[in-house]
Structures are given as structure tokens and as C-alpha cells.
């Protein structure tokens, strides 16, 4: 069985991906410094898959500690989720974000090369398309100017990994541009567990629904969209997780450099999400229209055709399932993992 190194595997998307890797017959080793996650997520995944998971609490920038893992295990490929991801915080703490995301990746990739594991899947983001409103985005859409350090780290790391693959064709580099992951594993055992006040729409909605917050603030209703609120391409985290297994299959075929949008191709507005959540779950989500949030764009959704055709991957779950599973997780875990 092939062993995959999963960085950031205790996090939201990483933990869901572990289950899909197990379903697909891969072994894996997880490295995470738990800066934005809890060891509880690993325990829950162990419960779901009925196996214990080799876990190392290591910061990617700790070269020595990370190298020990490579000495101990032989990796076939790496799925690299580890990184800091809060847009607003990245504006306040640029140095921390650049250092964590860039240096962490440099140390990791250098060790992958040293130990001749030249297969990497990188968590990129639709944010690399910048502030362009020309939707849907295809992989050929121009990369835009990211307005924040978080987005810049994603865009720059895409360039770094592309240059690496250009310089040495033995590398397989798959850059996955995620759109807006929401939802949770249907068991309700794992899900998104943000620290403090959620920045993102769905965790905010679930916290209002569960009574932790009074009202959702809807950031602007005067955008040029069907109902005036922002439109995004929400994707079920389980579908997203399966996209990584499809990317591993592409690596088996020696894909070289591959860049893929992982989205559904459907755009939903903030109010579509609120109304669908209320309908499928039978709960109410009071909201208040607020001013626009700085840096937001009207519409962002994907054309996922390239991933459909080349990876044989397609998002299967719709907005109703996303809303149902997000609520199932929140209801069962009102305090998240209680970090």
C-alpha cells in the first residue's frame, strides 16, 4: 500500500480527505502543528475508519523534526494542506502568514526532493483569480491581483511549484484551486470548527441556528447579482476531499503539471444559502443586511470542466446536502471540537 504524507491533516479539509484516502486504499501519515485544529479531529477520523492514524505534531518549518518523518516513513506523495488561511488576519499579520505558508512549503518541498518523493498536491484557492468579476473562471482565466497576503501566498506558491516542475520533469505537481468548501462528513463526527467569531458564511449561519450568535450579517445587498447578495460556488467538503483522490490517480499517470478548479460550477447567493439552510433543516436564521465587506467581489464561481474531463472527478452533492450536513455537525457539536 502506498503511503501519503498529509500536511495539515487535522484541519477541516484534511480530516475529510483522510477518510477518502482510506476508502481508496491508501495509507497515510499526518503532520500538523495544531495551530488551527484539534487532535480530536484525528481521533474522530480514527473512529470512522476503525484504524489508528500515525500523527506527528510538528511545525513544517522545523526542518529537523520534519526530516525525522522522512527517515521513518517512505512516502509516495504528499497532499499539502498545511497553511494559515484567514484573509483578514493575514492583512494584520503579513509576516506570520508569509513565513508560515511560504517557508513551511519550502522546507517541505526541499525534503520531498531530498527523499525523492516528487509528487505533490497543493491546496490552492479561487482567490488566485483576484478581483476579476468575469465568471465562470476557467484555469486559463488570468490570475488577478490578490488583495491580501493570504491570497498572495497561494498565488506565489503556485508559481514556485510550477517552476520546480518545469526545472525537473520528474515532479508531478497538482495545483487544486478550491472554491468555497462547506458541509461536513455525514456522520456528524467531523466538520469545520473555527476559532472565535467565524469569518465564513456557513459556520456563521450554523452558529446563529444553534443559538450561539443572534443574527447573521449579510454583507451587502446591492451587488450586481440576481438578489443583490454575493454569489459563490459552494462545494461539499466530501466532494472536495474526493478530488484529492482523483488527483492522486492523475499522479499515478505521471501527469506532470496539472491545475484544476474544484467547484460545482453553480453560483448561489448568500440569501440562497440562508433560505436553503432554513428549508432543509427546519430552523430559522435571522439576518440583517449590513454594508459590503471590504475586499469582497460580487460573483465567484468555477467552470469545473477540466477536472471533470481530465481527473474524471465531478462534485455530486448539492446545496441541500451541504446545508443538511453542516447543520448535522453543528447540532451534534455545538462547541466544535472544544479546542
- The residues of the shown chain that bind ligand UFG, judged by CB under 6 A, are 85, 87, 125-127, 151, 180, 199-201, 204, 216-219, 230, 232, 270, 293, 296, 300
Report strand pairing: 180-182 vs 77-80. unpaired
Distance CA 188, CA 19 (A): 13
Nearer Cβ to ligand NAD (131/289): 131
Sequence-separated (6 or more) residues with CB below 8 Å from residue 101:
83, 84, 150, 153, 154, 157
Q: Are 13 and 183 in contact (CB under 8 A)?
A: no
What's the min distance (Å) between Cβ of 157 and ligand UFG?
Answer: 13
Q: Which of 151, 181, 183, 198 binds ligand NAD (CB under 6 A)?
A: 181
Ordered DSSP codes for 92-117? H-HHHHIIIIIIHHHHHHHHHHHTT-
Selected binder of ligand NAD within 18, 19, 21, 32 (CB under 6 A)? 32
What residue 109 binds from ligand NAD, ligand UFG, none (CB within 5 to 8 A, per partner kind)?
Answer: none
Angle at 22 between CA 17 and CA 25, to 5 degrees: 130
For ligand NAD, the binding residues in 48-67 under the rule CB under 6 A are: 59-61
**Residue (232 or 324) nearer to ligand UFG, CB:** 232
Query: Is 150 designated active site?
Result: yes
β-partners of residue 124 are: 177
DSSP for 248-288, written as a single string: HHHHHTT--EEEEEES-S--EEHHHHHHHHHHHHT----EE
Phi-psi map region of 52: left, alpha, beta (phi>0 left; psi -120 to 50 alpha): beta
Q: With respect to ligand UFG, which residue has the nearer C-beta, 216 or 317? A: 216
Partner whose footprint covers residue 281, from ligand NAD, ligand UFG, none (CB < 5 to 8 Å by kind): none
Q: What would the x/- binding string for ligand NAD be over residues 224 to 243, using CB under 6 A? A: --------------------
Judged by CB under 6 A, the residue of 14, 203, 243, 304 near ligand NAD is 14
Q: Which is nearer to ligand UFG, 201 or 307 (CB)?
A: 201
| Near ligand NAD by CB under 6 A: residue from 75, 81, 171, 313 | 81
* Strand ranges inside 132-211, DSSP E: 172-178, 180-182
Catalytic residue, candidates 26, 150, 234, 260 = 150
Q: Under the rule (CB under 6 A), what is the footprint of ligand NAD? A: 8, 10-14, 32-37, 59-61, 81-85, 100, 104, 123, 125, 178, 180-181
- Catalytic residues, by residue number, are 150
Amino acid at each position: 500500500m502506498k503511503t501519503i504524507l498529509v500536511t495539515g491533516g487535522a484541519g477541516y479539509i484534511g480530516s475529510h480527505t483522510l477518510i477518502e484516502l482510506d476508502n481508496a486504499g491508501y495509507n497515510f501519515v499526518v503532520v500538523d502543528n495544531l495551530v488551527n485544529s484539534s487532535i480530536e479531529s484525528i481521533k474522530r477520523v480514527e473512529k470512522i475508519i476503525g484504524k489508528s492514524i500515525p500523527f506527528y505534531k510538528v511545525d513544517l518549518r522545523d526542518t529537523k523534526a520534519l526530516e525525522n518523518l522522512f527517515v521513518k516513513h517512505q512516502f509516495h506523495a504528499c497532499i499539502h494542506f498545511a497553511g494559515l488561511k484567514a484573509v483578514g488576519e493575514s492583512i494584520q499579520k503579513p509576516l506570520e502568514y508569509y513565513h508560515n505558508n511560504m517557508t513551511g512549503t519550502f522546507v517541505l518541498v526541499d525534503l520531498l526532493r531530498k527523499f525523492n518523493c516528487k509528487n505533490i498536491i497543493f491546496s490552492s484557492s479561487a482567490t488566485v483569480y483576484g478581483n476579476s468579476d468575469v465568471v465562470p473562471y476557467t484555469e486559463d482565466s488570468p490570475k488577478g491581483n490578490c488583495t491580501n497576503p493570504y491570497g498572495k501566498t497561494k498565488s506565489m506558491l503556485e508559481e514556485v511549484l510550477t517552476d520546480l516542475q518545469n526545472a525537473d520533469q520528474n515532479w508531478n505537481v497538482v495545483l487544486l484551486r478550491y472554491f468555497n468548501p462547506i458541509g461536513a462528513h455525514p456522520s456528524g463526527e467531523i466538520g469545520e470548527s473555527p476559532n472565535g467569531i467565524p469569518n465564513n458564511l456557513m459556520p456563521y449561519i450554523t452558529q446563529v441556528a444553534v443559538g450561539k450568535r443572534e443574527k447573521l450579517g449579510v454583507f451587502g445587498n446591492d451587488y450586481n447579482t440576481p438578489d443583490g447578495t454575493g454569489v459563490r460556488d459552494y462545494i461539499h467538503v466530501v466532494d472536495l476531499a474526493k478530488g484529492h483522490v482523483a488527483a492522486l490517480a492523475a499522479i499515478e499517470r505521471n501527469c506532470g503539471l496539472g491545475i484544476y478548479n474544484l467547484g460545482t460550477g453553480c453560483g448561489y447567493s448568500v440569501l440562497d444559502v440562508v433560505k436553503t439552510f432554513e428549508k432543509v433543516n427546519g430552523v430559522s436564521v435571522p439576518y440583517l443586511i449590513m454594508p459590503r465587506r471590504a475586499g469582497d467581489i460580487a460573483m465567484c464561481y468555477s467552470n469545473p470542466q477540466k477536472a471533470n474531463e481530465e481527473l474524471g472527478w465531478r462534485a455530486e452533492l448539492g446545496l441541500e446536502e451541504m446545508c443538511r450536513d453542516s447543520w448535522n455537525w453543528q447540532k451534534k457539536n455545538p462547541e466544535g471540537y472544544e479546542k
